A and B are shown apart, each in its own frame.
Chain A
Amino acid sequence: MSETVIELRNVTKTFGSVTSNDHVSMKIEKGEILALLGENGSGKTSLMNMLSGIYFPDEGEIILNGKPVTIRDPRDAYELGIGMVHQHFKLVDVFTASENMILGIDAKAKLDRKKIAAQIKEICDKYGFVIDPDKKVYDMSVSEKQTLEIVKVLYRGADILILDEPTAVLTPQETDRLFDVIRNMKKNGKTVIIITHKLHEVLSISDRVAILRRGQYIGTVNTSEATESSLTEMMVGKKVELNIERPVIENKELLLEVRNLNCINPEGIKVLKDINFDVYGGEILGIAGISGSGQKELLESIAGLQKNEKGSSIIYYQPHARDESIDGDQLVGKTPREIRDLGIRLSFVPEDRLGMGLVGSMGMTENMMLKDYRSNGHIFANVKKPRMLAEKIKDELEVVTPSISTPVKNLSGGNVQKVLVGREIAASPTVLMTAYAVRGLDINTSYTIYHLLNEQKKKGSAVIFVGEDLDVMVALCDRIIVLCDGRINGVLEYKPDGDNKDFNKGNIGLMMTKIDYKDETEGGKADE
């Protein structure tokens, strides 16, 4: 039974100054479902990319069925029977399913679309997939694309399948169907490696769990002997009671009022559906949901970066304005600049740090200028103040950089985020929005960020925290809005001196995945 199919010995991979995998040695057994578990940035994907030939290890060796092998490119991997479904699908949009299927194989063979379609059908029937061979990829849903990717790997005769976070984009029903298929594959003798950081999935699907932590291999356990807490411990190091403070603020003041917010993306899909909620100063409002549930569009709508449907409304009240019954400002239809010109101090830490929040080719100083370089009256940009600010942020947040003029794209992920968050907080915002603020950061930097957010909260600012780690959200946020498929599926509130047994990640997890959650429970007061 326990016959080793792949053995990694001292596999190491570095990117610039970052070590992604540090002397990883582990074994994968034939015919098992192995979960590769680890936090974001723990090196799961880069390790698997070395098996699939996308990366080449700096050091170490890969042994397949007892023989050392060199996997120089994906073709080598396919020839060895290793196939990987990447998190970002590697499909050609303008091709049909069957055209995508045969890319790169049997180049000399005839292009017989009918025959390929028949072969696809055979695989689909065997494992229980549904695919239309003539459908163009740009017409497919995310789940259809994923199915296509898996069938593609099987079509190439892979015996070892690597799935990178396959459930991140799926609904619960689709996830169940995928797991059935994975079990079918196991029955047919395939070895399946599934990369994930979702514990309940690990427990429900896998035979064994291998854990990586910050690039290092921690160990492998049998799933039957594992529990969520034992796995968490291996994943994060020590059993961490997340020690995030949650200061209590009296006198919360309404700052943002979001009503009937609707948004349709360029592909014509409705991504925000009748969103209604309020945001108060002095609180951290969490927004949870599986990725792509509308978080991005929601924050960008508030920041003035999205087009919203007619009837959408986001009213901003200046602090104390409501006491003096001064009207709020409508933000919908305004550009970021118009919002700023109204004197509204809105800060936004977007998910795409280098592609949206910062200018990668510029140094810290020039990045500090990004939002207020216009502040003086003449044609020259103000450099003095940003330079001082850059120095200040570098010292206070301990940004590791050769100099404040080094292009920020050369900094590590954590330091990039410190620069971005530092700048956004320096603007002393009344509303601070952050999207995945701690993604890819080490524990220390993450705590620095939590601390900074709490500081803002204590100052009376509203903090909107879009997150993915539910444990963190439960420990940090005062209220949590759960998005599912562009709709608010529920709101949970932490009561500083009340009963908080509903304020847990199990509840949030349910709301994240169940489209019809509202019908089943009364827990969430979803606005409809």
Chain B
Amino acid sequence: MATSLIQLLLGAVAFGTVIMFGCIGEIITEKAGNLNLGVPGIMYLGGIASLASVFIYEGSTDTPNKLLCVIIALLSAFIASALGGLIYAFLTITLKANQNVTGLTLTIFGSGVANFFGGSLNTLAGRFEQIAVPFTSAAFKAVTPLSKAGVVGRIFFSYGFMVYLAVIAAVIIHYFLNHTRRGLNLRTIGENPAAADAAGINVTKNKYLAICIGAGISGFGGVYYVMDYIKGTWANDGSIETLGWLAVALVIFTTWKSINAIWGAYLFGVLYWMYLYIPGLTRGSQEIFKMLPYVVTIIVLIVTSLRNSRDKQPPAALGLPYFREER
């Protein structure tokens, strides 16, 4: 019983880390007033960029450097995801395209790019083995000796570094948004862009920055999924897309507070994996059980709309375009 509980926790943390990155990146974007439904596409871009760059690097040298592998993976993922965000930002801010439609297009584009290269990288590179970057994956999954320290060690220290990175990022973003002037300025844009503009805050620049950095962070979700969760391989099974949408759902669940993403993400993980640990479920009823995270999100959505508490609402100008000379 205790072992399976630990198993469940470990699974939940791994699962939660993927969506936590997606979620906190999206929180930054939404705090700037943009609803980016391209999160799944961005996570795809991050995942494939890290895989492809490391695949090329690992293939180009006989003695790959672990640290370099990790840096290459993270950097290329951040750049690729931020570029995805940049496309979205350019279309929605500068060209004033509809945010939802642009976001969905980004998801289609990102999943197309990622799955195309994920499935064709070996052919394109003229190599015929299955794409795998076991060396880099091992670096991502490396743990400290603390993980051997009994139950506590297993529960708290048996993860790759990105698990901790996600938590730290969530805390930093929370601090940034609530305890710095820049964070306050950013939230102003999402709440009332006209007020931000009148206060001398550069709405366009900040929106661009928030969207691109937010996308970069969301993209790390894809990196963690590829490098740690599925051990440095690629699967064209649409999992990243599902996780991406869950990340969007998690944003609502956290009521736009990144600090809540830490426990929220793990809770989603527990809900997602719970079916494995409930005895007597058939394969069919397991599928029903897997609905839980979505159902919970729907309930949270309904409850927040009924409660109507001023401090738990989405940013007031979320999804609305801003054009100063509008009359």
Known A54-B324, A103-B188: A91·B310 in contact at CB below 8 Å? no
Contact indicator A99/B202 (Cβ below 8 Å): no
Q: How far is the CA of A301 from the CA of B185 in the complex (A)?
A: 40
Contact with A along B278-313 (1 / 0, CB 8 A): 000000000000000000000000000000001101
Chain A: interface size category: 20 to 34
Contact indicator B184/A73 (Cβ below 8 Å): no
* Chain A residues with CB below 8 A from B184, complex form: 95, 99, 102-103, 111
A118 within 8 A of B: no
* Chain B residues with CB below 8 A from A363, complex form: none
CB proximity of A97 to chain B, nearest CB, Å: 13
CB proximity of A136 to chain B, nearest CB, Å: 8
Q: How far is the CA of A106 from the CA of B310 in the complex (A)?
A: 28
Please tell me which one of the listed residues B179, B199, B200, B313 contacts residue A111 in the complex, with CB atoms under 8 A apart.
B179
Chain A CB count within 10 A is highest, among B183, B184, B199, B327, for B199
* Chain A residues with CB below 8 A from B179, complex form: 111
Contact with B along A64-106 (1 / 0, CB 8 A): 0000000001110110000010101111111100010011111
Chain B interface SS verdict (over half) = helix
B194 within 8 A of A: yes
* Chain B residues with CB below 8 A from A152, complex form: 199
CB proximity of A324 to chain B, nearest CB, Å: 49
A342 within 8 A of B: no
* Chain A residues with CB below 8 A from B198, complex form: 52, 54, 74, 84, 86, 90
B320 within 8 A of A: no
Chain B: interface size category: 20 to 34
Contact indicator B185/A92 (Cβ below 8 Å): no
* Chain B residues with CB below 8 A from A90, complex form: 192, 194-195, 197-199
B127 within 8 A of A: no
* Chain B residues with CB below 8 A from A74, complex form: 197-200
CB proximity of A76 to chain B, nearest CB, Å: 8
Contact indicator A92/B188 (Cβ below 8 Å): yes
Contact indicator B181/A94 (Cβ below 8 Å): no
Please tell me which one of the listed residues A103, A110, A136, A138 contacts residue B199 in the complex, with CB atoms under 8 A apart.
A103
Q: How far is the CA of A53 from the CA of B325 in the complex (A)?
A: 11
* Chain A residues with CB below 8 A from B325, complex form: 15, 55
Contact indicator A102/B197 (Cβ below 8 Å): no
Chain B CB count within 10 A is highest, among A54, A109, A111, A138, for A111
Q: How far is the CA of A211 from the CA of B197 in the complex (A)?
A: 28
B201 within 8 A of A: yes
CB proximity of B81 to chain A, nearest CB, Å: 25
Chain B CB count within 10 A is highest, among A53, A73, A102, A152, for A73
* Chain A residues with CB below 8 A from B187, complex form: 92, 95
Known A95-B188, A111-B179, A111-B181: A103·B327 in contact at CB below 8 Å? no
Give 28 CB contacts A-B under 8 Å: A15-B327, A54-B198, A54-B324, A73-B200, A74-B197, A74-B199, A74-B200, A75-B202, A89-B195, A90-B194, A90-B195, A91-B195, A92-B191, A94-B311, A94-B316, A95-B188, A99-B184, A102-B181, A102-B184, A103-B188, A103-B195, A104-B199, A104-B201, A105-B181, A107-B185, A110-B181, A136-B310, A152-B199
Residues on A lying within 8 angstroms of B by beta carbon are 15, 52-55, 73-75, 77-78, 84, 86, 88-95, 99, 102-111, 136, 138, 152
Closest 10 CB pairs of A and B: A75-B200, A104-B199, A90-B195, A103-B199, A90-B198, A104-B200, A104-B201, A74-B200, A92-B191, A107-B182
